[in-house]
C-alpha cells in the first residue's frame, strides 16, 4: 500500500502577503504538512467549503487533521462570549464540525490539534473554558501574542496517546482556551503538569479519534502523527 492521504483543515485569510502579492489566500502553517509528510503520509489542504461536501471529502481520505486557529464560537456550546474570546470564524466552524462528523460516522482516523481538540469536544456536546488564566491562574499555555510557550504534559496510562507517547514530555503550546465539560464519550488522555489542564482527549470504541491541545507541528516529535498514519494504514 502507498502512503495514506491525510487531509488537513485550513482557513481563508482576507489578506495575506507573500513575495510581491497581497491578496486573499487559503492558509496553513507549513509545520502541518511537513510533519504529516515526516510521519509517512501525503498531505492535502481542506479549505472551508460547503459543509454538505464534508462527507464526500472524507470518503476520499485515509485520515483527517483538524488544525489549530481561531477560538470556537461560544454559541456552538451555549455560552456568551468572554471579553477575551476572539471573533467567530463561522464558515470555518461549520466546515470543520462537518469534517469531524463525517470522520466519526465513517470511522476515518481523526486527529485534532489545539482548536481541533476544542472543536471535537464541542462537536460531542462538551464546553470550553474561554480564558484559561481566569480559571487556573497559570500562563504557561502561551508565552505572549504570537510566541509559542512550552510546558510538560503527562499521558494517562492505558490510553491511545500513552501508547504513542508513553513518557512525560515538554510540548509547544499556544492557547488561552481549554476543554471545560468533556464531550460525550471522550476521555482525558493527558494533563498539564503546571495546573492539571486536560491536554489530550480521545474517543474509545473508534478506530482512531485523538486530539491534543499542544502543537506537534511546531516540534520535531512526529509520534502523534505517526499514530494517526498507522491507523490510516489500517
Q: Which three cell numbers stand for residue 204?
A: 474509545
CA torsion through residues 206, 212, 96, 46, sign = negative
Active site residues: 114, 215, 217
Rounded to whole angstroms, the Cα distance separating 22 from 234 reads 42
Write out the DSSP string of 139-182: -TT-SBTTB-EEEEEEEPTTSHHHHHS-S-EEEEE--S-EE-SP
What is the three-class DSSP state of 83?
coil
Could you list the beta-strand ranges (E) of the chain: 5-9, 11-18, 21-27, 42-46, 63-66, 110-113, 128-129, 149-155, 169-173, 178-179, 187-192, 198-202, 209-212
Amino acid at each position: 500500500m502507498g502512503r495514506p492521504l491525510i487531509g488537513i483543515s485550513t482557513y481563508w485569510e482576507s489578506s495575506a502577503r507573500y513575495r510581491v502579492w497581497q491578496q486573499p489566500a487559503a492558509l496553513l502553517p507549513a509545520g502541518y504538512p511537513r510533519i504529516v509528510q515526516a510521519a509517512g503520509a501525503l498531505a492535502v489542504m481542506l479549505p472551508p467549503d460547503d459543509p454538505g461536501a464534508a462527507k464526500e471529502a472524507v470518503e476520499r481520505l485515509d485520515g483527517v487533521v483538524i488544525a489549530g486557529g481561531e477560538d470556537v464560537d461560544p454559541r456552538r456550546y451555549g455560552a456568551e462570549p468572554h471579553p477575551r474570546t476572539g471573533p467567530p470564524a463561522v464558515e470555518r466552524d461549520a466546515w470543520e464540525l462537518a469534517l469531524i462528523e463525517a470522520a466519526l460516522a465513517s470511522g476515518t482516523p481523526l486527529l485534532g490539534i489545539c482548536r481541533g481538540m476544542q472543536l471535537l469536544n464541542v462537536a460531542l456536546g462538551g464546553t470550553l473554558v474561554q480564558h484559561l488564566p481566569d480559571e487556573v491562574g497559570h500562563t504557561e499555555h502561551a508565552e505572549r501574542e504570537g510566541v509559542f510557550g512550552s510546558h510538560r504534559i503527562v499521558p494517562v496510562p492505558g490510553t491511545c496517546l500513552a501508547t504513542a507517547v508513553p513518557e512525560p514530555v515538554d510540548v509547544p503550546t499556544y492557547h488561552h482556551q481549554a476543554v471545560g465539560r468533556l464531550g460525550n464519550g471522550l476521555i482525558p488522555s493527558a494533563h498539564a503538569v503546571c495546573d492539571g489542564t486536560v491536554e489530550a482527549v480521545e474517543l474509545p470504541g473508534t478506530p482512531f479519534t485523538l486530539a491534543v491541545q499542544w502543537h506537534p507541528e511546531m516540534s520535531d516529535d512526529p509520534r502523534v502523527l505517526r499514530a494517526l498514519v498507522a491507523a490510516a494504514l489500517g
